[in-house]
Structure 1
Amino acid sequence: MDSVKEQKCVTGNRKERNRQSQAAFRFRRKKYIKELEESIMRMHNSTKRLNQELERTVHRAENAERRCLALYEELYSLRKLTNRLFEENKQLTQYCSSMTANPLFMSHNMVSNDHIGKFF
């Protein structure tokens, strides 16, 4: 009879330990799931923030690219204008040199400067 009581006692203790062990496991699992959910939420927020930052950066890069293209176009126009002005300056210099070398120019120059207007 004692052995049956002991057996029931041992079985009862084992059941209690199993219940406690199962409760502890459920608690740990619940805690772990909560940590995973919090981690997912942090990653989601981080991803959202990074996507917004990426969108702003892409927008800035597009603006910079447009500005760079506009500056290249402006530079091209200015170089073209500079070359044209250098050519005009060269022609005017040659014209003035040829006129100052001509003695008739000096007497004509004192009368009229109309010939200069055609360059401007």
Structure 2
Amino acid sequence: MSSRMISEEPSKVGRHRLYSNEQRKDRNREAQAAFRVRRNKYTETLELAVEKNEKTIEDLKSANERNIQRAEVAEQRCAQLDSQVASLEKLLQAALAENERVAQNKTPDTSSASYVSVTSLDQPQDIFAAKWLEEMNHNAIGEFIKVGVFL
């Protein structure tokens, strides 16, 4: 019995090979080549996405800078308008005070109509009010007139 066992070849255990070693090497080479092509394509896709995102970032940065500049200009304009409003409020108060004074006298003097003087305004923001008064104290042909405030 023992001689019989020795002479018999042991049976092959595991997978049965369908391809020869050369065929297997060829299939592995093809699979590796296909993998490299897929990997390069994926890398190119990622690089394009990175370039697109970098361009978007640059566009957003430039838009942000433009918006910051616009905001600064708007803030400056707002400050100018605030000072103009303050100047015009002072002029309005002065005109109302003049109207009150004239109303108390009950006799408006049309021959020597009074106008609000800018010299009493002492703050630099009253430049706008001075320009407005100067425009108001000239008629359409450029002659100086006194603007009276009557009730």
Question: Which of the five TM-score ranges fits, normalised by the shorter chain?
Answer: 0.7 to 0.9
Task: Give the aligned partner of residue 111 of structure 2.
Answer: 111
Task: Give the aligned partner of residue 141 of structure 2.
Answer: none
Shift of 1:117: 5.7
Identity %: 11
Query: In structure 2, which of residues 41, 45, 49 is the aligned counterpart of residue 42 of structure 1?
Result: 45
CA distance in 1, matches of 2:40, 2:32: 12
Query: In structure 2, which of residues 52, 56, 60 is the aligned counterpart of residue 57 of structure 1?
Result: 60
Shift of 1:110: 2.5
Larger RCO, structures 1/2 (Cα 8 Å, 6+ apart): 2
TM-score relative to the length of structure 2 = 0.62
Shift of 1:54: 1.2
Task: Give the aligned partner of residue 31 of structure 1.
Answer: 34
Q: Deviation digits for residues 99-119 of structure 1, max 9, x if unmatched? A: 22114x52xx12221x21635
Q: Deviation digits for residues 65-113 of structure 1, max 9, x if unmatched? A: 110111011111101110111111011101221122114x52xx12221
Q: What is the root-mean-square deviation of aligned Cα atoms in Å?
A: 1.7
The one-letter code sitting in structure 2 at the alignment partner of 1:110 is: T
Unaligned runs of 5+ in 1: 1-13
The answer on 1:93 being equivalent to 2:92 is no
Q: Deviation digits for residues 7-53 of structure 1, max 9, x if unmatched? A: xxxxxxx8x71111111111101100110001111111111111111
What is the number of residues matched between the two proteins? 102
The one-letter code sitting in structure 2 at the alignment partner of 1:93 is: L
Task: Give the aligned partner of residue 67 of structure 1.
Answer: 70
CA distance in 2, matches of 1:91, 1:117: 7
TM-score relative to the length of structure 1 = 0.77
